[in-house]
Structure 1
Amino acid sequence: MLHLLIVSYTGSEEDAAPFVRDHVEYLERHHADGVFLVSGQTVPSSQGGAIVACGVDREAIERISAEDPFVVNGVATHAITTIEPGRVHAALAAPLTAAAASRD
């Protein structure tokens, strides 16, 4: 199962600035544990960012999302779209399978 998290600032980028360090640590922790596959800022960055997550169910990703320091401090929200992949590019099949297996 994949999850697309759209991170949207509730105010300005400057409002989020005091929490960037903690947000980056949050991202790094979940990249290290294999849940976050991709994360980055939107273009333009003033809109927020996005995260692609894998290997956890909807309940778990909602819990992880709620722990984002941006969300905790009210400077951003996450919109979560859960995807059950039907077709996967060959270049992504092995990493997605490995990410899902590491969470089992």
Structure 2
Amino acid sequence: MLHLLRLEYTGSEEAAAPHVRDHVAFLDRHHAAGTFLVSGQTVPSAQGGLIIAAGVDRATAERIAAEDPFVRTGVGRYTITTIVPGRAHAALAGLLAPDGP
């Protein structure tokens, strides 16, 4: 199961700026744990960002999103889409195994 976490700023990118350092620490922590496979800003960056998470259930993905400093301070919100991959490139097979990365 994969979760696409789409971050959207609730205000301006400038309002989110004071919380970037804590948000980056949040990303680093979940990348190190193997939960976040990919994260990055959307283009244009003023729209927010996107995270691909794996190895957790939907409830855990929702809990993780709620812990983001952007969400906790009210400058961002997530939309989560959960997918069960039906097809994937062979290079991703280990990441998409039922027991995750």
TM-score of the superposition, structure 1-length normalised?
0.93
Q: What is the CA-CA distance between 1:97 and the residue it aligns to?
A: 2.5
Matched with 1:32 is 32
Q: Which residue of structure 1 lines up, in the alignment, with residue 64 of structure 2?
A: 64
Paired amino acid for 2:84? E
- RMSD of aligned alpha carbons: 1.3
Per-residue CA distance 1:27-46 (angstroms, 9 max, x = gap): 00000000000000000000
Q: Partners of 2:78 and 2:70 in 1: how far apart?
A: 9
3-state SS of 1:43 partner? coil
Q: 2:45 and 2:26 mapped to 1: Cα distance? A: 18
How far apart are 1:59 and its partner, in Å? 0.5
Letter in 1 for 2:63: R
Q: Which runs of 5 or more residues in structure 1 are unaligned?
A: none
Please show how residues 1-104 of structure 1 align to structure 2 within 5 Å: 1-97=1-97, 100=100, 102=101
Runs of 4+ in 1 over 6 A off after TM superposition: none
> For this pair of structures, how many residues does the alignment match?
101
Q: Is the 8 A contact 1:54 1:99 kept in 2?
A: no
Structure having the higher helix fraction is 1
